[in-house]
């Protein structure tokens, strides 16, 4: 559809030439595409209707047709570091990885000129737009859900280009020096607070034990004397031996 009179005449003459030189010409009119490839055929600059050719053999006119092979296997695109600003006004450097495959080869060739550049810019702008509504703490704790949200947003746009985004991952988050320093100070303060809490709990447990021991010793005077003797026995192991006698000492 859309061919002019001259184009139709050239097409008919090309078919006649192939028929006249058959079977030699048939070897120049067939190409093979692999299982993971598709071929897009243009005749005199017009995209031929129908689905992409392949896999296997496909027919084309050597003088009038040109074809382009498209690889349908999964591709990986590394998104370089770019700056984003979070909801709480923290500036971060983020790099990501995008996994995509080409679904509609005909639509792709007639829509995009540079696939990698288009996807890279789209990922960067989408990431900036989505992270502007997220806090810094949410980015660190909910990285998986944010990556899924970015993937859904990308897939909604790339579907019009014939591209299917399979997965998007935030690879690395680089913090500014000021943010790293403040986080280190905050973490150190939290550790010191935990140490003080543990020490206070230890003091409380020790005081409770001493209080119970004092109550037991106060109710039994003989136990206090035995405790004194035990302390003296433990001191005799030192060299020279040292003795401490608490006064007044009840001899009984």
Q: What pLDDT does 243 receive? A: 58
Average pLDDT rounded to a whole number, residues 75-99? 85
Confidence of residue 34 (pLDDT cuts 50, 70, 90): confident
What pLDDT does 137 receive? Answer: 79
Q: Distance between CA atoms of 210 and 217, rounded to whole angstroms?
A: 10
Residue 83 phi/psi, 5-degree rounding, is: -85, 140
Phi-psi region of 171 (alpha: psi -120 to 50; beta: other; left: phi over 0): alpha
Helix (H) / strand (E) element for 235: namely helix 221-235
pLDDT in tens, 190-204: 888 888 888 888 888
Instruction: Judge contact between 39 and 52, C-beta under 8 A.
Output: yes
Residue 231 has φ and ψ, to the nearest 5°, of -65, -40
What does the pLDDT average to over 146-151?
A: 88
Report the pLDDT averaged over residues 180-198. 78
Lowest mean pLDDT of 6-20, 32-46, 177-191, 237-251, name the range. Answer: 237-251
For residue 176, what is the DSSP state?
P
pLDDT at 54: 78
What is the percent of the chain where pLDDT is above 90?
Answer: 1
- Which single residue is written with the structure tokens 């067939």? 30
Identify the pLDDT of residue 248.
Answer: 61
The neighbouring-strand residues paired with 49 are none
């Amino acid at each position: 559809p859309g061919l002019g009179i001259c184009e139709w005449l050239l097409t008919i003459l090309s078919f006649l030439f192939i028929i006249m030189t058959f079977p030699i010409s048939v070897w120049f009119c067939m190409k093979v595409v692999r299982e993971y490839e598709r071929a897009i055929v243009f005749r005199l600059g017009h995209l031929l209707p129908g689905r992409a050719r392949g896999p296997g053999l496909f027919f084309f006119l050597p003088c009038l047709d040109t074809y382009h092979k498209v690889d349908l296997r999964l591709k990986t695109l590394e998104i370089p570091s770019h700056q984003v600003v979070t909801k709480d006004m923290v500036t971060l450097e983020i790099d990501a990885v995008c996994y995509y495959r080409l679904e509609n080869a005909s639509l792709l060739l007639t829509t995009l000129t540079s696939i990698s550049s288009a996807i890279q810019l789209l990922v960067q702008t989408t990431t900036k737009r989505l992270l502007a509504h997220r806090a810094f703490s949410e980015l660190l704790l909910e990285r998986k859900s944010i990556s899924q949200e970015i993937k859904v947003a990308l897939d909604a746009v790339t579907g019009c280009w014939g591209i299917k985004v399979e997965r998007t991952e935030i690879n690395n988050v680089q913090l500014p020096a000021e943010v790293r320093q403040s986080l280190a100070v905050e973490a150190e303060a939290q550790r010191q607070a935990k140490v003080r809490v543990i020490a206070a709990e230890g003091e409380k447990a020790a005081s409770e034990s001493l209080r119970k021991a004092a109550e037991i010793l106060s109710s039994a005077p003989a136990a206090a004397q035995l405790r004194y003797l035990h302390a003296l026995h433990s001191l005799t192991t030192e060299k020279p031996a040292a003795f401490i006698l608490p006064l007044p000492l009840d001899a009984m």
